[in-house]
Amino acid sequence: MRLTKYWKSDLPDTVEVADLDPETYKSELNRVYRKLDLYLIPPLWIVYFLTSADRSNVGLALTMNSSTGDSIIQHLDLTSRDLSLALAFFYVGYLVFDAPFNLIMTKIAPHAWMSRIVISIGIVASCMAACNSGWSFILVRTLLGVTEAGMWPGMAYYMTLWYPAKRCARRIGFYFTAAQISASVVGLVSAGFQLMNGARGLTGYQWMFLIYGVLTVLSGVLILFWLPDRPRFDRHGTSFLNSNSKFLRVWKRITRRYLLSGLDADLHMTDMRYTYSGEGKQWTWKDVWNIIIDPFLWPLIIMYFGVVGVGIGVQNFATIILRTINPQWSSITLSLLTAPIWLADLIGILIFTPISDRFSKYRYCFFIFSSLIIIAGLFVTTYAGPEWGRYAGLLVVGFGLGPTVPITMAWTAEIFGHRHKEVGQALATALVSGLGNLGSVTTTYALYTGWPADAARQYKYSNMVMVGMLGASILSALLVRFLLKVLKRDAFMYEDPADNLQQHNVTQEQNVAADKF
């Protein structure tokens, strides 16, 4: 397959969007988005893979080299309270800083801000290797949460700058697969890190924190020079380089690089007309308030609360849950058994997110169906008799978890992009991600190790609390759908791309008529 056929159109450069028939328009538009996919998704995938590893590898550190007394719990003499506080305080940074950090992205080059976030994550993640007590572990985990704030909603917001909402779930799902593959790879590679235990005086988990942290810093530098800024709104190329200052030319080349020009830029702008219609308009605090009181916001937050809480609970405590299934499994076996859970998660993403974009009017159905799969898996892993049956329940949980978060974020961007334009997408995705992570606080602080009495019950009550959280998410999804129906937003949101071409041509004719007049 020739990648060049995605990079340049076969049509003459002089062709205008208005000259295209609907079929050619759709074909050329799909080519533009494939071009964007090839350029944008791989670097985002890499940074999300590494930042996800930095966030989740602590769950493996809990049991790594435990047979020699070198797990992080044994090495730092962590109590159940220390562990629960450290895991819960990580999400305080999300709650406090997600929204303001995403609003900052609307004011500056978003890829430069994401680069800052990724580099900060790598530095702090490396410092995890230097923790020598419970309080330092809690402190560094809290700082890691602060540095990571804005990463996930920022990437979702960046996607909305380049893709209309009806195409977002699939793209968010593409790079969200990095988290699942990361969890699998981290689980497998941790077996190798455990073999490095004692090398140069470091434990296996310290080597893991250091190496992933350094790689994350390098990836942060990569996206600064690779990712483009916001889309241009004209057909021209690099007029921003017209400066006598060498420093300014270099800096603007970093912060103001554009990917689309000519017909590609026109096609893209035509398809993104609802997002671009707010271009140049500065948001105000009244806009922020209108988003906060929007009736769609809070049900979406509850949707995210349930699914992300369950996802983080499984991610952080998978090895502990597995140990209750069979206490005889070694720490290496536990690490290896976590990998298939996230491979099942990956399969769920690849199956459901493209379909949810294709039938975007029924996103709520895909979300509810996936949530019901998770509930079924939790019941199996809680009450099944054979140990491998209970393990299969965790695989079912992973499969159902995969598409829920991308669908929620895409639906948020879809609704708020139409209701509040760019600032709505930026702030709403941040609020849904930030406040929704109260679910993560719940599962990490109040359940599993945060609920010592539940250990004797093999964490059955913790699993059932997560079932209740998912029930709240399902009811909230139904409420969002009900509000869309009542407010009659469907026809406005789920339009065909050819409608944008027709509207573009009408606007062009009106402009010509006005000029003649």
Residue 267 · residue 447 · CB < 8 Å: no
As a whole number, the mean pLDDT across the chain is 82
Give residue for tokens 């530098």.
221
447-466 average pLDDT score = 83
Is 152 a domain residue? Answer: yes
Of the candidates 193, 209, 203, which has an alpha carbon nearest to the alpha carbon of residue 70?
203
Number of domains in the chain: 1
Banded pLDDT at 108 (limits 50, 70, 90): confident
CA distances from 439 to 109, 177, 309, 467 (A): 31, 21, 4, 12
The predicted model gives 511-517 an average pLDDT of: 42
Model confidence at 175: pLDDT above 60 = yes
d(C-alpha 256, C-alpha 96), whole Å: 29
Fill in the DSSP letter of residue 231: P
Question: At residue 11, does pLDDT exceed 90?
Answer: no
Say how far residue 293 (Cα) sits from the centre of its chain: 24
| Cβ neighbours of 378 (radius 10 Å) | 25
Asked, for residue 7, whether it belongs to a domain, the answer is no
Looking at residue 106, what is its pLDDT?
82
Res 472 pLDDT > 70:
yes
- Of residues 260 and 356, more confidence is placed in 356
- pLDDT at residue 125 above 60? yes
Tokens found for residue 57: 């590898």
The answer on pLDDT for 390 being more than 60 is yes
- Measured CA to CA, the distance from residue 48 to residue 172 in angstroms comes to 11
Q: Is the pLDDT of residue 473 over 70?
A: yes
Q: What is the pLDDT of residues 404-428, one digit of tens each?
A: 999 998 899 888 887 877 788 888 9
Is residue 497 included in any domain, yes or no?
A: no
pLDDT bin (cut points 50, 70, 90) of residue 41 is: very high
- 246 assigned to some structural domain: no
Q: Output 430 or 272, whichever has higher pLDDT.
A: 430
347-355 mean pLDDT:
91
The pLDDT tens digits for 43-86 are 999 999 999 899 888 878 887 878 788 888 888 888 888 888 88
Residue 435 lies in a domain: yes
Q: Is residue 214 part of a domain?
A: yes
Helix (H, G, I), strand (E, B) or coil at 359: coil
What tens digit of pLDDT does each residue of 262-296 get? 788 888 888 877 555 545 457 788 888 999 999 99
CATH code where residue 159 lies: 1.20.1250.20
pLDDT higher than threshold 90 for residue 313 = no
pLDDT at 496 over 70: no
Q: What is the pTM of this model?
A: 0.77
| Tens digits of residue pLDDT in 200-235 | 888 988 999 999 999 999 999 999 988 888 776 444
Structure token pair of residue 75: 């090495």
- Its domain, for residue 459, covers 29-230+286-488
User: Using 50, 70 and 90 to split pLDDT, how confident is the model at 255?
Assistant: low
More confident residue, 240 or 190: 190
**What distance in Å separates the CA atoms of residue 488 and residue 484, rounded to the nearest whole number?**
6
pLDDT at 9 over 80: no
Tell me the residue type at 49: F
Tokens of 305: 């609360």
pLDDT value, residue 75: 87
Domain-embedded: residue 146 = yes
Cβ within 8 Å of residue 143, ≥6 positions away: 93, 124, 127
CB proximity list for 200: less than 8 A, separation 6 or greater = none
- Banded model confidence at residue 257, pLDDT cuts 50, 70, 90: low
Rounded to an integer, what distance in angstroms lies between the CA atom of residue 216 and that of residue 222? 10
Using a pLDDT cut of 70, give the percent of the chain over it: 84
pLDDT of residue 12: 54
Statement: residue 517 has pLDDT above 80: no
8 within domain boundaries: no
Q: Which pLDDT score, from 0 to 100, does residue 513 have?
A: 42
pLDDT attached to residue 447: 82
